[in-house]
Structure 1
Amino acid sequence: MGLHAQVRTRDGWPVEHAVVTVTDGSGGQVLRAAADGDGVARAEGVLAPGPYTVVVTALGYAPDARTALVGGTGRADVGTVVLARAGGTELPPPGTWTVDAAHSSVGAVAQHLGISSVHGRFTEFTGRIEIAPDVLASRVEAVIGAGSVDTGNGLRDKHLRSADFLDVDRFPELTYRSTAPLRAAGPDRWTVDGELTLRGVTRHVPLDLTYLGTGADPWGGVRAAFRAEAELRREDFAINYNQVVSAGIAAIGATLRVTLDIQAVRED
């Protein structure tokens, strides 16, 4: 076998769409192979002894070029090539990832009386993340049960479910879907442009998304962790209820800070 190489990401995942090209001293291509599902590229052939240039490319990754010295075996054994994401960003392997609601959280914080915060969460939600070979073409979507809001106070939660706020009888779900390519915002960080539908009103809401890492779980699966944050203005979704206490201070702040801590499982 004239060529053997293994192509991986920085966190050890195979790059199954990588292409390995071997050129001789004159720049002519002598071997070429695409990596398989395990990130291994193989090509038959016998190479003359001497130096060769090996170039590894993959969509969404920075190319890697190196020199391989071929001896009497006629084989270029490149070993393991680690590709970095273009722009220095990393993501899990391409594919569909399903949000594990049992190990994720959707929380929100609102200001109360201008001096403190009230924390709440939604306990029922689903979501999918489609990670594309080109990172920026990835997509996300989520559905949240409006009636699952929980602030730890039964009376307050009942009011939040009423027509003054979420109006869950008429609008039982909140939905979010990305609508454009991701925008790189730094190493392992992106801005997701998407639309949030709340109380039947749809508005553009950007998410600040951070990738936290990938690892195996005890059940034979692969998991990835993300954190996302967004800020909502209540009036954008026709949630105008409020009370004014002394000195003109509103009981409830005009903005809502939403934080999502997500653990997703890769589908087979």
Structure 2
Amino acid sequence: MALTARVRTRDGWAVSHAVVTLTDARGAQVLRAEADGEGAVRDATVLSPGAYTVIVTAVGYAPAAASAIVTATGNAEVGAVTLARQGGEELPPPGPWTIDPAHSTVGAVAQHLGISSVRGRFTEFAGTVEIAPDDVARSRVDAVIRAGSIDTGNRMRDDHLRSDDFLAVETYPEITYRSHALTPAGPDRWTVHGELAMRGVVRPVDLDLSYLGTGADPWGGTRAAFRATTELRREDFAMNYNQIVQAGIAAIGTTLRVELDVQAVHGTGLPAA
């Protein structure tokens, strides 16, 4: 091999669509090679001994440059080249991710009597995240929630929330969310643009998403953690039920704050544990 290199993100993930260009001391291009699926570059072009400049580019990443010395044998080992995402934002490695319900929470907070909050969560849900390799903005999120799994810690209140006054779970057993775009909102923060279908109504809903990082799990997999929030107006989803108590105060607030704490496993399935 005349030239070898490894192209990685800051987290150590392979950049499979990277392109490596080698220029000589005069600035003339002498080699151009593409990384394979593991982010490795191996090119057998015979090179003259001397000093060269290595330029590494990939869609969605800031270019990186490094120096390389071609030895008398015609070989150059560049080693690992790290690419940073454009704008400094980082995301998990590309490909499919499966949301792990056992280590995730889908919750909502509603104001009660204008002075306190009632918290609830859905205990049955599933979803996938697809991180696009070439254009992060094309990444996708798809999630399905069983509406009847609402749990606020009070059986009477939960039965009322399942009724036609609120979620109408007999008629609309599922709540779904499907995204269609992703835009940066700051370091490690993104806005997810999508549509929420609930109680037979479909509305555009944006999620304020924070990426918390990735790491290995005890079952040999790789996990990514996210936190997302948004606010919903109940009336936008035909949930207009309320009671007016003394002094005109509504028993239930008009908005819901949705809070998502999500772990996702790299791949299309979950570990047995």
Range into which the TM-score falls when normalised by the shorter chain: over 0.9
Q: Distance in 2 between matches of 1:59 and 1:226?
A: 24
Partner of 2:116: 116
Q: How many residues align?
A: 267
Q: Deviations over 1:7-34 (max 9, x none)?
A: 1111111112211111112333222222
Letter paired with 1:238: A
Equivalence map 1:255-266=2 (5 Å): 255-266=255-266
CA positional deviation for 1:170: 0.6
1:18 counterpart letter in structure 2: A
Q: Which runs of 5+ in 1 are unaligned?
A: none
SS in 2 for 1:182: strand
Using the alignment, how far apart are the partners of 2:67 and 2:101 within structure 1?
Answer: 47
Distance 2:65 2:13 in 1: 20
**TM-score, reference length from structure 2:** 0.95
Structure 1 counterpart of 2:161, which letter? L
CA distance in 2, matches of 1:143, 1:217: 24
Structure 1 Cα separation of the partners of residues 174 and 69 of structure 2: 61
**1:221-263 Cα shifts (integer Å, max 9, x gaps):** 1111111111000010110000111111101001000011111
Deviation at 1:137, TM superposition (A): 1.1
1:171-186 superposed matches below 5 A: 171-179=172-180, 181-186=181-186
Q: Percent identity?
A: 71
Match of 1:162 in 2: 163
| Alpha-carbon distance in structure 1 between the residues aligned to 2:73 and 2:13 | 29
**Aligned-partner residue type, residue 160 of structure 1:** L
- Specify the SS of the correspondent of 1:197: strand
- 2:4 and 2:50 map into 1 onto residues whose CA distance is 16
Letter matched to residue 174 of structure 2: E
Q: Offset of 1:217 from its aligned partner?
A: 1.4
Partner of 1:50: 50
For 1:79, the aligned partner's letter is G
Matches within 5 A, 1:123-202: 123-133=123-133, 134-179=135-180, 181-202=181-202
Structure 2: distance between partners of 1:97 and 1:173: 21
Could you give the per-residue CA deviations for residues 168-196 of structure 1, whole angstroms, max 9, x where no partner exists?
001001011112x2111011111111110
Unmatched tracts of structure 2, length 5 or more: 269-273
Query: Which position in structure 1 is the counterpart of 2:85?
Result: 85
Secondary structure at the aligned position of 2:119 is classed as strand
Which deviates the most, 24-33 or 149-158? Answer: 24-33
- Mapping 1:19-30, distance limit 5 Å: 19-30=19-30
**Deviation of residue 113 (structure 1)?**
0.5
Q: Residue 17 of structure 1 corresponds to which residue in structure 2?
A: 17
Distance 2:37 2:224 in 1: 19
Deviations along 1:83-102, whole A, 9 cap, x unmatched? 10111111111101111111
Given the two structures, how large is their TM-score scaled by the length of structure 1?
A: 0.96
Higher mean C-alpha deviation, range 66-75 or range 227-236: 66-75
1:80-127 Cα offsets, whole Å, 9 max, x none, are 111101111111111011111111110000000011000000001011
CA distance in 1 between partners of 2:28 and 2:243 (Å): 76
Question: Which residue of the partner structure matches residue 234 of structure 1?
Answer: 234
Q: How many angstroms does 1:47 deviate by?
A: 2.0
Structure 1 segments (4+ residues) deviating >4 Å: none
- 1:65 alignment counterpart: 65
- Asked whether the equivalents of residues 114 and 250 of structure 1 are also in contact (C-alpha less than 8 Å), the reply is yes
Task: Write the distance in 1 (CA, Å) between the matches of 2:183 and 2:119.
Answer: 29
Aligned-pair RMSD on alpha carbons?
A: 1.2
